[in-house]
Structure 1
Amino acid sequence: MFSGDLVMGIDAGTGGIRAGLFTLEGEAVSFYDQSYETLYPSPAWAEQRPQDWWNALVTAVQGCLASNIGARERVIGLAIDAPCNILLTDEKGTPLTNSLIWMDLRGASQAKRLTETQDAVLRYCGMDVPAEWPLPKALWLKENNAELWQQATYLVEQMSWLAWKLTGSQAVPQNSAVAKWHYRVNATEDVPAGWPRSLMHAVGLEDLPEKLFSTVVPMGGKVGELNAESAQLLGLREGIAVSMSGIDAYAGMVGMGVVTPGTLALVTGTSTCQLVQSRQAVFDPGLWGPFEDAVVQGDWTLEAGQTSTGGSVRWLLDLFGEKLPQGSERYIAADDAAAAVAPGAEGLTVLDFWQGSRTPIKDPHARGTIWGLTPHHGPGHLLRAIYEGTAYGNRHILEKLHALGVPTQNIVACGGGTRSTLWLQILADVAGLPITLTKVSDAVSLGSAMCAAVGAGIFADFQEASQSMVHPSRTIEPDLSRYALYTEGYELYKETYRALAPLFQRAAQPR
């Protein structure tokens, strides 16, 4: 049994909510998962019901507490991380729409118009606005549901809406505001502080700021206290601190202790997100950011990403069907098959662009590519080539950071991809850098729990929280002889994209 105060990190993901209970020393006490449904009413659309989020949160928190006698009295705070899923509400917070979740791309043309403004604030996101971000969705809602837009009092995102229900307090997460809404904490000569009003005005969203909450709370900042109604539903004490976390990948960054420059946070899953802290603002169109005060006050965060890493592996395993075991054993068998093949996959090259390329090549029309095939190649070759292709994509990001003068001496990784020892070794070998894993593999939930601890006043900041709650477990050292071997494959990876880029663009044209 664990004794002492506890904090709860609630991870609201795409597939459901996970509640995690932690000690102030970073020991995981219990987890509970509750899923919810994603709706796809039209091509490129993706929606969720906000009430499903709330029901899942209640179930997950209750389940997390159920197996821990006395935990209710010891929980001193909680925090929630979530993607930028948006919805319109009335003045009481009642949803007027389903939520347009992060992967919804219905605002693609609106994103293009936002990018074409070339507003000065866009230099903080590489001069382009992705369709996954909130402003294109907000513009789509206004242009396609004008009556509903006028009727709505607020446009909120998932994190804000759940915190509002828990506390009655209205607050915007500073993390997502800075990283996805183009919000500026501090003014410069050409960009004022606050919401990007000139950008909004240029596309007809001049009334949007009136629908946004006025209070902006940083990661680890207290939003309010758990109200009586929510406390009774959840099984927690009324009045405990409810604090702001951030977007899931950023919560994972905190949960891995990557809160100072010099280390790359590698958050793996269906896709991969790379995050790094910097003392200075660093601008480049091949990256997202720099985002000021997105995680640590006074520092800047740079974001990069690969759209399909674990997703590409899963795609190939699904194609193999019965040729590999099912369930968790399938991934063990995949590693065994790929490990039997020498580095270089006997001449296969893979571009990991199953869903386009996010960074440092921003090309939504790029596509997954496998070449060099002969009758000799089998499943193990294909798997190893995909592992290597995703590792080359990660090296491309590291190379971009190095060229910009952003120091990266090591990598800390979390997420589903870390279950593959082989893939981790290939990532380390291709990057030529050590990769460290932390004791709590669910760094996202832990990161939100750390936000709860800071918000409750237990720790002064994330650096202090990291010293107590984040603990390394093991480090994968790179084989530098393989690094040299992989350099040739990496150059071939980049040359392959350069050769195919014109064909990707040609294939994307209407016929």
Structure 2
Amino acid sequence: ERGGELVHMAEMFYVGVDVGTASVRAALVTREGLLKSSAEEPISIWEPQSDHFVQSSSDIWAKCCIVVKRSQIRGIGFDATCSLVVLDEHFQPVSVCHSGKNDSSRAGCTYNKFWSSGPKSRGRGHVSEMQPPKLLWLKENLKESCWNKAAHFFDLPDFLSWKATGSLTRSLCTLVCKWTYCPPEGWDDSFWTVIGLADLVDNNYSKIGKVSLGQGMTSEAAADMGLDPGTAVGASLIDAHAGGLGIIGVDVKGFNLPCEDQPITSRMAMICGTSTCHMAISQKPLFVPGVWGPCLSAMVPDFWLNEGGQSATGRLVWLQDHLVILYPKLFCVNLYTYLNFDLLTSSLHVWPDFHGNRSPLADPTLKGMVVGLTCSQTLDDLALLYLATVQALAFGTLHILKALEEAGHDIKTLFFSGGLSKNPLYVKVHANATGLPVVLSDQMEAVLVGAAVLGACASQDYSSIQVFEYVLYILVEMFSKPFFDL
């Protein structure tokens, strides 16, 4: 009983909302961490000019409302890709593209030369995917149409929390990982001055915000979503970090894993989707060359996060664009049934950095390579190319693991989630290449579960994230080497 109101434990649910590149998804999650139901809505994408993609923050919020029409919800949490949302002083969207199209407020620009000019983000590594280069790009390229009109800059996860609560405070996850905020010191005035964005320091950083915990849902947002006003809203997370939160802390006692009875720092969460993120945590800051971080409390409270990554892994393995176009006859067969065979690739090798290397080389200019191609285009040839691609990604993970270990991490078990974790070959090759057991979940949507954990903790039904995670029972399979000889 809370506040004189009897709470029926069996009827308590939490909602996790995940905003990706192409769609918004929501899941209704039980107290035990099980997905009761889910829904998905596509997001519109515009290309106002070549290689410049924008999306609408209003469209994204509308789709969030569509997928969350549920009742008896105790709490809700949001996660999303790290995109930039710009609002004016009246909280209306500001265009971030040259066309001036209204409401195209999600920026997808990069600014690679930014980091080569000298600024460093307190030694934590830097990439063009962070927000400072995007902000500088807007100031230099769209000063009149965007920069001078902007009153609020949000990471997309924080924009969703603001829409739900009306609070301008931001998530520690987004500010630390993508904006160079560094707890407990806070913002670094000199950093913004050096890079030419000193105006963001004004009014106590009012345009880019301060950190806060969960809030209650406003009446307007509650009406949009079909929920009760005051419904608990958790501090938002980046999508990969929500996935890591949804899987890395589960109870694995009795499964004879090397991480059993070891600290949570012996685990690495891999969020395997369109790209793959390698999430490792530590009790003290560890600086890993070529790997993002360390970031304090960015995924698990009071732990430092190092995040490795591989770009376009899902696109490569799912044979989109680069591999399947030469083999149209494959569409008449069960593709993965045919391809998931153990075929040796001793004379065929793939370098998978078609979109550059995130980690540990941290070189966005790198290109992909295929060595050993012949003129033949048989199904066997495609199967070999497929296997060589999966192997290349697995050895890329090993490369990241080695860099983490050299810096002081001691990873004993891999925890997989995301679309690629449903591919047995991808999982088995990773176990073989790294020599580590791989833990899979029967709740495949770990990102949505992680977002729901935020709502559960914001509701105060649980005293901490860790307490809620240990309620979950999600381990169903373990893979370890050897499955076959590479």
Place the TM-score, normalised by the shorter chain, in its bin. Answer: 0.7 to 0.9
Amino acid at match of 1:144: N
Which amino acid counterpart does residue 195 of structure 1 have in structure 2?
W
Measure the CA separation in 2 of the matches of 1:157 and 1:421.
34
Q: 1:255 aligns with which of 246, 253, 258?
A: 246
Match of 1:490?
A: none
> The residue matched to 1:17 in structure 2 has which SS?
strand
Range moving further from structure 2, 317-326 or 174-183: 317-326
Q: CA deviation at 1:448?
A: 0.4
Residue 76 of structure 1, aligned match among 57, 74, 77 = 74
Q: Aligned residue for 1:424? A: 427
Superimposed CA distance per residue, residues 174-195 of structure 1 (whole angstroms, 9 cap, x where no aligned partner): 1011111110012xxxxxx212
Q: CA RMSD in A?
A: 2.1
Q: In 2, are the aligned partners of 1:84 and 1:157 still within 8 Å (CA)?
A: yes
Q: 1:232 aligns with which of 223, 226, 234?
A: 223
**Match for residue 10 of structure 1 among 9, 17, 39:** 17
1:444 aligns with 2:486: no
Query: How does the TM-score come out when normalised to structure 2?
Result: 0.87
Is this contact kept in 2: 1:46–1:100, CA < 8 A?
A: no
| 8 Å contact from structure 1 (residues 272, 306) kept in 2 | yes
Say whether residues 1:212 and 2:210 are aligned partners: no
Amino acid in the other structure paired with 2:476: S
Cα deviation per residue 1:359-400 (whole Å; 9 max; x = unaligned)? 111222221111133467611111111111111101111111
1:141 aligns with 2:138: yes
Alignment counterpart, residue 243 of structure 1, candidates 200, 212, 234: 234
Q: Deviations over 1:125-145 (max 9, x none)?
A: 2xxx32221111111112222
- Matched residue, 2:158: 160
- 1:333 corresponds, among 317, 324, 338, to 338
3-state SS, counterpart of residue 177 of structure 2: helix
Which residue in 2 is equivalent to 1:495? none
Q: Which amino acid is the alignment partner of residue 299 of structure 1?
A: F
Distance 1:470 1:354, change over 3 A: farther
Which residue in the other structure is 2:259 paired with?
none
3-state DSSP of counterpart to 1:275: strand
TM-score by length of 1: 0.83
Task: State the alpha-carbon separation in 1 of the partners of residues 305 and 342 from structure 2.
Answer: 39
- Residue of structure 1 equivalent to 2:39: 32
> SS state of the match for residue 347, structure 1?
coil
Q: Is the aligned partner of 1:457 residue 2:464?
A: no
Any idea what the Cα deviations from partners look like across 1:97-123, whole Å, max 9, x if unmatched? 255657532x3333433xx13x4x431
What amino acid does structure 2 have at the position aligned with 1:31? S
Classify the secondary structure of the residue corresponding to 1:311.
helix
Matched, 1:290 2:294: yes
Amino acid paired to 1:430: A
Counting only pairs closer than 5 Å after superposition, residues 395-414 of structure 1 correspond to structure 2 as: 395-414=398-417
Q: In 2 relative to 1, CA 228–100 (structure 1 residues): closer, same or farther, beyond 3 Å? A: closer
Q: Structure 1 CA distance, aligned partners of 2:108 and 2:395?
A: 25
Residue 86 (structure 1) aligned with residue 84 (structure 2):
yes
Q: Which has the higher helix share?
A: 1
Aligned runs of 1:431-510 on 2, under 5 Å? 431-479=434-482, 486=486
The one-character-per-residue Cα deviations of 1:302-346 (angstroms, maximum 9, x if unpaired) are 01011122212223443244332379x4333332xxx1413xx13
Q: Which residue does the alignment assign to 1:324?
A: 330
3-state DSSP of counterpart to 2:234 = strand
Q: Deviations over 1:222-245 (max 9, x none)?
A: 1x2111122122111111101113
Cα separation, 2, equivalents of 1:213 and 1:180: 12
- Select the residue among 181, 191, 195 that pairs with 1:183: 181
Q: Which moved more, 1:230-239 or 1:267-276?
A: 230-239
Displacement of 1:211 in angstroms is 4.1
Deviation, structure 1 residue 16: 1.6
Paired residue secondary structure (1:155): strand
Matches within 5 A, 1:353-392: 353-374=353-374, 378-392=381-395
Deviation at 1:351, TM superposition (A): 0.8
Deviations 1:46-76 (A, max 9, x none): 21111111111111112xx3xxxxxx1x211
Secondary structure of the residue that 1:172 maps to in structure 2?
coil
SS for the counterpart of 2:357 is: coil
Deviation per CA, 1:1-60, whole angstroms, max 9, x where unpaired?
x93200000001111210110101011111010111222223442211111111111111
Report whether the alignment pairs 1:269 with 2:261.
no
Aligned length: 449
* Residue aligned with 1:140, SS: helix
Q: Name the CA distance, whole Å, in 2 between partners of 1:109 and 1:43.
A: 20
C-alpha deviation, 1:92, in angstroms: 3.4
The code of the aligned residue for 1:242 comes to: V
Equivalent position SS for 1:77: strand
The 8 Å contact of residues 266 and 274 in structure 1, kept in 2 or not, is answered as yes
Aligned residue type for 1:330: L
**2:309 pairs with 1:312:** no
Give the distance between the partners of 1:286 and 1:312, measured in 2 at CA: 22
Deviation at 1:440, TM superposition (A): 0.8
User: Does the CA contact (< 8 Å) of 2:273 and 2:418 recur in 1?
Assistant: yes
Answer yes or no: is the 8 Å Cα contact 2:155–2:174 preserved in 1: no
Using the alignment, how far apart are the partners of 1:351 and 1:266 within structure 2?
20
TM-superposed deviation, 1:271: 1.3
Secondary structure at the aligned position of 2:284 is classed as coil
Q: Is the 8 A contact 2:249 2:470 kept in 1?
A: no
Q: Which residue of 2 aligns with 1:496?
A: none
Q: 1:296 to 1:340 in 2, by over 3 A?
A: closer
Contact 2:158–2:236 at 8 Å: present in 1 too? no
State the one-letter code of the partner of 1:92. Answer: H
Q: Partners of 2:49 and 2:83 in 1: how far apart?
A: 17
**Cα distance in 1 for residues equivalent to 2:385 and 2:412:** 30
Identical-pair percentage:
29
Task: Return the letter of the residue paired with 1:334.
Answer: L
Residue 397 and residue 184 in structure 1: after superposition, are their counterparts in 2 closer, same or farther (change >3 A)?
same
> Aligned to 2:48, what secondary structure does the other structure show?
coil
- Deviation, 1:296, is 2.4
Partner deviation per Cα, 1:420-459 (whole Å, 9 max, x = no partner): 1111111110111111111210000000000111111122
Per-residue CA deviation, residues 202-230 of structure 1 (Å, 9 max, x unaligned), is: 1210111434354313xxx31x2111122
In 1, Cα distance between equivalents of 2:324 and 2:74: 44
**For residues 18 and 49 of structure 2, what CA distance do their matches in structure 1 show?**
27
Is 418-427 or 225-234 further displaced after alignment?
225-234
Are the aligned partners of 1:17 and 1:33 in contact in 2 as well (CA < 8 Å)?
yes
Query: Helix, strand or coil for the counterpart of 2:39?
Result: strand
Correspondence for 1:504: none
Hey, what's the Cα distance between the residues in 2 that align with 1:100 and 1:354? 28
